[in-house]
Chains A and B, each alone.
Chain A
């Protein structure tokens, strides 16, 4: 059972903080149009329609709303990248949330689907997007049901479809369901998938969606949470939005905290100023490490992010600061490991994830990811040698040539190597298979040393089965 005060929003914990996207989570019926309209719903859309599309786009630009899908790119700036005079343009909503540790889009879709729909409408209006595809991860049937029902209501009420609210603004929102593939969360893979293809990422350039996206047309891909912020910005104005958070990271953002904490959950935090210490140890948040244990390490931004330790607790939710310290904020997911954690085994679960989720396009990811997984599995099983540790680094070098970012460690006398890394792959899945094992081996070398035997003493290597079964 969830510890959330709202069982219908499993894992969500409110607090004494501004709420932009979770304001309706307190209502069990927040997903209905009645509750939505009664609590200010679709007011943002009306406010937007009172403005010109250009003015609305300007408002979003002024809000410095950062993308919540992982890259943190300002939404208003991205909309401006669509080439002049090329029609039609599309909106694709990225609801494929599958980054390890991450969940907030699912709650936003399950608990407040109309807010997302309103956000989509505002984006389409402002950026001249004439059809919207709402791509929901396949393994989220409840979100699917809620969004489908909300769309039916919104169509019936005249918010979606032809001549919205009597204006000449007309747009369809089509609900599209995925079928299980993490990599499809990457925006160009999402577009391939929406075109009925295998979800294999395209190379950027030339395939920047804003220029060459769905069916080769200009396409805006935005994350669910990003869009859910738009009703507030439209209704209250960008100034009200930037009044929260810091100038470079305004507003709030949703962060999932999981692992060995006392109160794991999803929190809407004030962006920019909240620190990892607040989040992990704060009474209003995760309330510290379970069972009185110590913090050993944490993953600060979804499974793809290099790991931090207690040394980095005071870093706030500011992209550049996290980057300088050797990691990234990514998708808004913090996974906490306490002192009892078997680090190689923990790393293995992430290496396996990314090896399993490779789309198979890039050789380093397809072959290297699986190789890494098998090496780490063998080491965890106690059949590894010290030579295998070197092989891991060499395979990693083939995926991410050059310096790998990592956190500083006073204990080991290590200075931080800042994010990002170089990569030989198209997307981040390949590097992400290396990141966790690299972090683990860099920050906790003794745990690996204890597992392996010197090569000279190795007798035989057991043959392992494939990945993913």
Chain B
């Protein structure tokens, strides 16, 4: 149990799952924490069970238990709480039967047989015994063999204390090794990537990491090499295991062979406290366990949430806990005096903030205040700030920064990830899911690879999903609506669309192209398939929650770009940045700069001193992920819990509390005497208030969330957008059409402040097709001048076969380079010329 922060009582909704080192807890870190619900369902639905032809009954150790046809004995046993020791079996990967540890006895036509339970399917009436002498003898024998070559360096191994091999050796092992021959010797841990180390002496060759790389991630960069007793896991020489998902291999390794650089030697499992939570790095909302020791976050592990992440996390989400611990965190509020931003007391800072609000209201009325951000916090944060904005009458507000889609995209009938996974067809309108919503990419890749779903992808350049798409259709920026309409009319595609459910995944494919293009393309799909549901692929962790809880602009005239324009034109007395950094995140860098310069006052609520906070008049230090409890809403509209696991940094406070305090301080012109937020004393009160106040969240009570760790899915909340008419401008004299999109690793604060991730951003450059590079006549890597109608910038150029001819691609927000300079948010597309220097 963590310390109670000064102003907040700990959240009671989040389930506490303290770590123990008992063997029975193996699953907590290994197959991730499997929630109980499915199991409960199966058992409770007994009467219905008879009707389901896919259900069979298996007798395990004398107990009849239900199982699903096609399931392996081991999964039926584990569901029925009968532990069968195993190493290679993993519920989310195909069985290989390598470790032979999971042997059980099954009655066969010729008497009892020993079978591997991970590869033997259940059958109705099957009789299974997991505890006979022969089974025990086999398990002991197998362990003795596994330990024969194991270095037994448990005292210096990260896994010691939570190691399935160690645990099973205690519980199912022979106790003593008679192996006196020479053990296998390899060079001790070698880095196989920037994040992962491999110790081949500890490896038991269970094929989990290699299967993960092959089946789940599709990054086949680690492999078994050599044969027999010399078999080892390795990369190709000089080709490291560069995968956005490499951390999962560390989590599923049943021994300490794979270790993560950010966690190595940091803690012993028995010193760890943990709680279940949700990752808010992106809007997939993977379920996690966040672990700490001595009030410091030390590790995140994926939790197997069946509808969401299946236990996987991306490396950015897994390792960015380092940012929370960063020494660069804002520890206390600051107010700008003559000498610049100076640390001060909350009292002073809140007073100064309230004064700025009051002054702005007096000088320009509520129309002179803009509120940007809120998509990085919790539902409670967003709700409290939206309430404050409502109370003040603020109309300029947006949780996005002109880098997403219009909020009304949430008004369409929304699909869940499972619906997309099971749909006959998924139409993908962008962005590159592998870069922006990595675990959604894993889910859809799996659906495509296992042939559950066919993906029709529309993209400007080859994406991470392209190799798995049934059709991957390239269009020139601006031509997306036409390309979609044309392709969907083709007979084979039309036939495919008619063959079953259709889900559209829609996000922002190109930051150098107006969002209207994608909205029109989305409309084109819905015109063809009116029954299609939409899975919004907006990126920031709680963007759906923030937009649904009141931080959506009322109309396009008050969205982020309009707000920034108003600021740039000197029409804003006060710009409130709620964890938002327009200088980093707004695609139109020039607009952002002018807005920051043009706003009379800036109030910034943030965890770090960002580019934009440097210009603020008051900076309020906010608590970060893991330091505050609450709820969050993922892209499906699924609300899950966030846990507080460590004490907040310095005197930082959660955003919702800051809103409430500000509201109270501003007084009657904001929170009237009967305003419900006046009565809240902890975050659960706010959660209750949302349930009571926002119809779509009516079911999202702390009690409901405690009972359902997979969360509660809310319905549509905004109105569907009016049809948009979009026509791309013709090409002007510029040669290339610009595509700007995000990579997983960029200059985002959470990444830059995580030591292990900071260097993984690819850096700025413009990429063109190799033939275009020849046409431009410069050498790969040299600097070129990129000129748009608006501005020019200098960037290195690279040849890249993934880029079609006539298109230039540049990664977004990569620091030193400034491709954002040439983007004009006011135009539909951006055309550029590339000049040799």
Contact = CB atoms under 8 A, between A and B. Distances in A.
Answer yes or no: A and B touching, Cβ < 8 Å: yes
Interface of A: 181, 198, 203, 206, 355-364, 366-371, 374-375, 378, 387, 391, 394-395, 397-398, 401-402, 422, 424-426, 461, 463-468
A401 B230 contact: no
Interface in B221-256: 224, 226-231
A1 B107 CA distance: 56
Given A360-B227, A422-B114, A367 B146 contact: yes
The 7 residue pairs across chains A and B that have the minimum distance between CB atoms: A398-B141, A360-B231, A358-B228, A367-B145, A374-B181, A370-B229, A463-B182
A465 B119 CA distance: 35
Contacts of A463: 181-182
A306 B607 CA distance: 73
Given A363-B100, A461-B180, A464-B181, A369 B229 contact: yes
A76 B116 CA distance: 30
Contact of B98 (A362, A374, A401, A424): A362
B228 A371 contact: no
Contacts of B230: 360, 466, 468
15 contacts: A203-B116, A361-B98, A362-B97, A367-B229, A369-B229, A371-B179, A371-B181, A394-B141, A395-B141, A398-B144, A398-B145, A401-B114, A424-B138, A461-B181, A467-B228
B202 to A, nearest CB: 14
B84 to A, nearest CB: 15
Contacts of B99: 363
B228 A363 contact: no
B216 interface: no
B137 interface: yes
Q: Which of A370, A397, A461 has the most CB of B within 10 A?
A: A370
Given A358-B229, A360-B231, 15 more contacts: A203-B97, A203-B116, A355-B228, A359-B227, A360-B227, A360-B230, A363-B98, A363-B101, A367-B148, A369-B229, A375-B181, A398-B141, A398-B145, A424-B100, A424-B142
B229 A398 contact: no
Contacts of A465: 182
Contacts, number: 109
B228 A359 contact: yes
A401 B224 CA distance: 29
Contact of B100 (A181, A360, A425, A461): A425
A181 B230 CA distance: 14
Q: Which of A181, A203, A206, A467 has the most CB of B within 10 A?
A: A203
B450 interface: no
B103 interface: yes
B224 A198 contact: yes
B145 A363 contact: yes
Nearest to B206: A363
Contacts of A387: 178
B344 interface: no
Nearest to B118: A203
Interface string B121-153: 100000000000010011001101110110000
A364 B137 CA distance: 13
Q: Which of A360, A363, A387, A402 has the most CB of B within 10 A?
A: A363
Contacts of A398: 138, 141-142, 144-145
B97 A426 contact: yes
Nearest to B137: A401
Nearest to B98: A361
Nearest to B182: A463
A433 to B, nearest CB: 10
A366 B231 contact: yes
A391 B174 CA distance: 13
Q: Which of B114, B141, B179 has the most CB of A within 10 A?
A: B141
A401 B142 contact: no
Contact of A424 (B103, B180, B182, B224): B103
B784 interface: no
Given A361-B98, A363-B101, A463-B181, A395 B229 contact: no
A387 B227 CA distance: 30
Contacts of B141: 364, 394-395, 397-398, 401, 424
Nearest to B148: A367
Interface string B159-198: 0000000000000000000111110100000000000000
B229 A362 contact: no
B205 interface: yes
Contacts of B205: 360, 366
Contacts of B98: 361-363
Contacts of A402: 134
B140 to A, nearest CB: 8
B97 A198 contact: no
A363 B227 contact: no
A203 B119 contact: yes
A205 B137 CA distance: 24
A454 B178 CA distance: 16
A366 B224 CA distance: 14
A22 B731 CA distance: 77
Nearest to A368: B145
Interface in B63-122: 96-101, 103, 113-114, 116, 119, 121
A363 B142 contact: yes
B179 to A, nearest CB: 7
Interface string B506-530: 0000000000000000000000000
B125 to A, nearest CB: 18
B227 A181 contact: yes
A387 B204 CA distance: 27
Given A363-B99, A368-B145, A398-B144, A357 B228 contact: yes
Contacts of A371: 145, 148, 179, 181
Contacts of A466: 182, 184, 229-230
Contacts of B178: 387, 391, 394
Q: Which of A198, A397, A425 has the most CB of B within 10 A?
A: A198
Contacts of B224: 198, 360
Interface in B800-824: none
Given A363-B146, A364-B142, A424 B227 contact: no
Contact of A366 (B97, B119, B228): B228
Contacts of A358: 227-229
B229 A467 contact: yes
A186 to B, nearest CB: 14
Contacts of B148: 367, 371
B320 to A, nearest CB: 36
Given A398-B141, A398-B144, A366 B229 contact: yes
Given A463-B181, A464-B182, A362 B100 contact: yes
A339 B101 CA distance: 42
A424 B226 CA distance: 23
B146 A356 contact: no
Contacts of A378: 181
A425 B114 CA distance: 10
B431 to A, nearest CB: 34
A363 to B, nearest CB: 5
A370 B146 CA distance: 12
Contacts of A375: 181
Contacts of A369: 228-229
A459 to B, nearest CB: 13
Contacts of B121: 206
A391 B831 CA distance: 76
Nearest to B228: A358
Given A422-B114, A426-B97, A360 B229 contact: yes
Contacts of A359: 227-228
Contact of A360 (B97, B101, B116, B228): B228
Nearest to B179: A371
Nearest to B174: A394
Q: Which of A362, A368, A424, A425 has the most CB of B within 10 A?
A: A424
Nearest to A390: B178
A162 to B, nearest CB: 30
B432 to A, nearest CB: 29
Contacts of A397: 137, 141
